[in-house]
Amino acid sequence: MTIKTYLQQLQKLLPNTWIEQIQYIHSSLLFRCILFLGSKPLTFSHKSTMVFSPHQDDETFGCGGMIANKREHGIQVVVVFLTNGQGAGGSQLNSHDKIIQIRKQEALTALEFLGVEPSKIHFLDKHDGHLQKLNHQERKETIEQVMYLIEFYQPQEIYVPHKKDCHQDHEATYELVKVAIAQAGITVDLLQYPIWLFWRSPLFILLKLQDIAAAYSLSITLVQEKKQQAIAAYSSQLESLPRGFINRFLGDYEIYFKAKS
Ligand SMILES: [Zn+2]
């Protein structure tokens, strides 16, 4: 069974409420509008890269094509997961500890499809769902951990979730990494990847013209199959995410928004 067939079969099993159908149409329209009317093509760069991902799957959904593309050219890609992923949906039979282990293993498998070595994958294991609620000390420690990794790897590009991604952990990841970059004092290209932005937000209210002007599209046709395999590796998440939401990430383009670092 091919990966695509597997995903299609899986999706037939999932509920498809009218709300999800509306969200799917809405997010598809917004994605296409940005892609074909509002974005500039992102030229392939040989810059070394770090991807900061709040949960085990965001890096693959948002940046899987970019990661596979860079790894095929032998360019360093480091992936850092901020939370342990224990808040995920999926089978109720699993304990929190079990969910954490499952998601870590899925992340390693997904990133293997994309060509990232385990030594370049870091788990900061923060409590899932609490990145915006860290107390002063926890926030300071998290920023220092991120800063240490940035200083260690000296990336030329950093990818973070969009600052208005309609999810607390995602927006907090953007903020924490941005502060760490400033404290590290390095110059780096900062690119934001949208995960929930198109699905949850009334985009034209949330996004200002200057946000849309910073949109870039990356063609990932050559590595699309690798990305689909990596997405399929996250089987615990595919059970619980809306099928229209997953569909958007199976296509041949990724969208990024450049930010000022
Ligand atoms: Zn997430």
CATH 3.40.50.10320 fits 3-11+45-255, yes or no: yes
Of 79, 99, 98, the closest CA to residue 87 belongs to 99
Mean pLDDT, range 73-83, rounded to an integer: 98
In the reported structure, the alpha carbon of residue 192 is separated from the centroid of ligand 1 by a whole-number distance in angstroms of: 14
Q: Which tens digits make up the pLDDT trace of 152-177?
A: 999 999 999 999 998 999 999 999 99
Question: Cβ-count burial of 187 within 10 angstroms (0-12 exposed, 13-18 middle, 19+ buried)?
Answer: exposed
pLDDT for res 9: 54
In the reported structure, the alpha carbon of residue 231 is separated from the centroid of ligand 1 by a whole-number distance in angstroms of: 13
In the reported structure, the alpha carbon of residue 58 is separated from the centroid of ligand 1 by a whole-number distance in angstroms of: 5
pLDDT for res 13: 47
Mean pLDDT, range 241-260, rounded to an integer: 91
In the reported structure, the alpha carbon of residue 136 is separated from the centroid of ligand 1 by a whole-number distance in angstroms of: 23
In the reported structure, the alpha carbon of residue 85 is separated from the centroid of ligand 1 by a whole-number distance in angstroms of: 8
In the reported structure, the alpha carbon of residue 170 is separated from the centroid of ligand 1 by a whole-number distance in angstroms of: 6
The tokens 């199976």 sit on which residue? 250
Q: Strands 189-193 and 77-83: what pairing?
A: unpaired
Better-scored residue on pLDDT, 179 or 204: 179
Of 210, 177, 231, the closest CA to residue 3 belongs to 231
In the reported structure, the alpha carbon of residue 173 is separated from the centroid of ligand 1 by a whole-number distance in angstroms of: 10
In the reported structure, the alpha carbon of residue 179 is separated from the centroid of ligand 1 by a whole-number distance in angstroms of: 20
Q: Which residues neighbour 148 within 8 Å (Cβ) at sequence distance 6 or greater?
A: none
**Range of lowest pLDDT (88-92, 103-107, 118-122, 193-197):** 88-92
In the reported structure, the alpha carbon of residue 199 is separated from the centroid of ligand 1 by a whole-number distance in angstroms of: 13
Q: Which tens digits make up the pLDDT trace of 220-236?
A: 999 999 999 999 999 99
In the reported structure, the alpha carbon of residue 156 is separated from the centroid of ligand 1 by a whole-number distance in angstroms of: 24
Mean pLDDT, range 145-152, rounded to an integer: 98
Tell me the C-alpha distance between 157 and 166, whole Å.
23
Mean pLDDT, range 176-184, rounded to an integer: 97
In the reported structure, the alpha carbon of residue 102 is separated from the centroid of ligand 1 by a whole-number distance in angstroms of: 15
**Range of lowest pLDDT (36-50, 56-70, 88-102):** 88-102
Which residues are within 5 Å of ligand 1 (an ion), measured at CB? 54-55, 58
Q: Does the pLDDT of residue 64 top 90, yes or no?
A: yes
Q: Which tens digits make up the pLDDT trace of 10-58?
A: 455 455 677 788 888 888 888 888 888 888 999 889 999 999 999 999 9
How many Cβ atoms from other residues are within 10 Å of residue 53's Cβ?
28
Rg (CA), the chain: 17
In the reported structure, the alpha carbon of residue 55 is separated from the centroid of ligand 1 by a whole-number distance in angstroms of: 4
Better-scored residue on pLDDT, 2 or 238: 238
Binned at pLDDT 50, 70 and 90, residue 87 comes out as confident
In the reported structure, the alpha carbon of residue 63 is separated from the centroid of ligand 1 by a whole-number distance in angstroms of: 13
In the reported structure, the alpha carbon of residue 169 is separated from the centroid of ligand 1 by a whole-number distance in angstroms of: 7
In the reported structure, the alpha carbon of residue 83 is separated from the centroid of ligand 1 by a whole-number distance in angstroms of: 9
Tokens of 109: 């498998």
Percent of the chain with pLDDT over 90: 67
pLDDT for res 240: 87
pLDDT for res 19: 78
In the reported structure, the alpha carbon of residue 46 is separated from the centroid of ligand 1 by a whole-number distance in angstroms of: 27
